[in-house]
Amino acid sequence: MSAFQDLPRWPQLADNDIEAAVAALRSNRLAGSGNSTVQDFESALAAGQGVEHAVAVSTGTAAVHLALHALDVGPGDEVIVPTHTFIGSASPVTYLGARPVFADVTPDTHCLDPDSVKALLTERTKAIVAVHINGCAADMEALSAVGAAAGVPVIEDMAQALGTRSGGRPVGGFGDLACVSLFEQKVITSGGEGGAVLTNNPGYAERLRRLRSHGEGPIKGRPGLIWAHEVGYNYRLTSVQAAIGLAQHARLQELVEARRHNAARLSERLAGVDGLELPVEPAGTTHAFWKYVVRVVPGEGRPPAAEIAATLRSRGVPVLLRYPFPLHKQPAFAEHQGVSLPVAERLSQELLALPSHPGLVEGHLDHVADEVRRAVAP
C-alpha cells in the first residue's frame, strides 16, 4: 500500500479564516442587505479584479443566474454556453425560460471556441457565456470581438479562475459581467458556498443588488422606504461567509502561486511521458491552475483515460475524469443530444484532472507524477 494512500484534501482553512468567522458571529450582525462585512468583501473583490462593482451572492450558480437576469434573458432567447463546463454555467439559462445553445471548445485550452460561437449566433442570441475553464483564460479578445460584432454581451464565468490573468489584467473585467464561485473547492472559499457578480456597469450593479434581495430598493421621493421594483431572489451572502471570504481573499495571491508552483512541479515530472499532453498556458496569460488537466492521447496499447483513472484511484491517487459527459449529452439537456460538438466530445474521453491543490507538498506531487507515468506508459 502506498505511503500516500491518503493525500491531503482541499480546502484547508487557516486559523485566520476561522477567527474571522467567529468575530463575525460575535458581532451579531449576521445578514441583511446593508451588511458592512459583506460590503468590505465586495470592495476587496472588486479592487482585486480591477472592476468597479462586486455584488456578493450565495453561490456561483446564483451569480450566473443574476448576470443573465440583469441582461433581461428570458423566454425565446438563446444563450451560447460551452458544452465542456460544469452545469452551473448553463442551468440558469433554463431557469429564466431561455434556451442554452451549446458550443464547442478549442483543443488546446478547452475554453469556448470563438469560431464555434460565431457559427451559432442567431437573432435570438441574447448572451455568450465564456468560461475560463480550469483557471485557463478564455480568448476574451476574440470572444468579445464576436460578441461586439453581433451586439451580444459576454458574461465571463470565472468560477474556476480567481487568480487568472490575461494581458497582465485579472479576468473579470473583460466581459460585460463576470461570475465568481466561492464553493469550498474553489481557489478561495467563503466557507463552503458563495459567489459574486463583477461589472464595470453601474446600472447592472444596481439591478444585481436589487435582484439579490427580493427585487427591493429605495423609492424615488420617499426617503427611508423601500419596495419591490420587480420580483427578485434571496441570494444574499451572510456576514460569516463574507468574513471568511475576506480572510481567504487576503491570501489569494499566495494560494494561486502555490497552485502554479505545484502545476510546474507536475509538468516537470511528467515531461516526455509518451501519450500524455500537459496543460498549456496561452501566451500572455497567467493560468490559475484550479485544475491541472492532462490529455491521454489515444494510441495503440495505451489504456484509455477512464481505465487509467480507475488504476490510479485503486493506487490511492484521486484523479477525476474531466467532464466525461459534455452538457449536451446529459439527460437534463436531452433535446440537445443530436448536436455534434466534436472537440468536446473527444476530450470527454481523454482528460484527467490530477491532484495539485496547495495542500500538497513536493513529495505528494512527485508520487502523483510517478503513478501517472506508471499508469499511462506501463
Per CB under 6 A, residues contacting ligand PLP are 59-61, 64, 85-86, 88-89, 131, 157, 159-160, 181, 183, 195
Query: What SS3 class is residue 92?
Result: helix
C-beta closer to ligand PLP: residue 180 or 375: 180
Closer residue to ligand PLP (CB): 125 or 181:
181
157 has which bridge partners?
A: 131, 179
C-alpha cell at 378: 506501463
Q: Which amino acid is located at 25 in the chain?
A: L
Report the 10 Å Cβ neighbour count for 328: 25
Cα separation, 53 vs 30, whole angstroms: 22
Least distance from C-beta 109 to ligand PLP, angstroms? 14
For the bound state, the minimum distance from the C-beta of residue 149 to ligand PLP, rounded and expressed in Å, comes to 25
Q: Residue 125 pairs with which residues in a beta bridge?
A: 78
Contact 134, 154 (CB under 8 A): no
Task: Give the shortest CB-101-to-ligand PLP separation in angstroms.
Answer: 17
CB of 63 to ligand PLP, least distance (A): 7
Minimal CB distance residue for ligand PLP: 60
93 vs 365, beta carbon nearer ligand PLP? 93
Q: Which is nearer to ligand PLP, 64 or 178 (CB)?
A: 64
Q: How far is the CB of 133 from ligand PLP (least distance, A)?
A: 7
Beta carbon of residue 290, minimum distance to ligand PLP (angstroms, whole number): 8
Query: What gap in Å lies between CA 282 and CA 159, rounded to an integer?
Result: 19
Angstrom distance (rounded) from CA 109 to CA 139? 9
Residue 132 or residue 367: which is nearer to ligand PLP going by CB? 132
Place of cell 448572451: 127
Give the whole-angstrom CA distance, residue 158 versus residue 169.
14
Taking every pair of Cα atoms in the chain, the longest distance, rounded to a whole number of angstroms, is 75
* Nearer residue to ligand PLP within complex by CB, 263 or 369: 263
Closer residue to ligand PLP, CB minimum distance, 179 or 365: 179
The minimum distance between CB 56 and ligand PLP, in angstroms, equals 12
Report the residue number, 21 or 63, with the smaller CB distance to ligand PLP: 63
Alpha helices in the chain (DSSP H): 15-26, 36-49, 60-70, 91-95, 114-120, 140-150, 202-212, 239-249, 252-270, 305-314, 342-347, 362-376
Give bridge partners of residue 107 from the DSSP assignment.
none
Question: Nearest approach, Cβ of 59 to ligand PLP (angstroms)?
Answer: 4
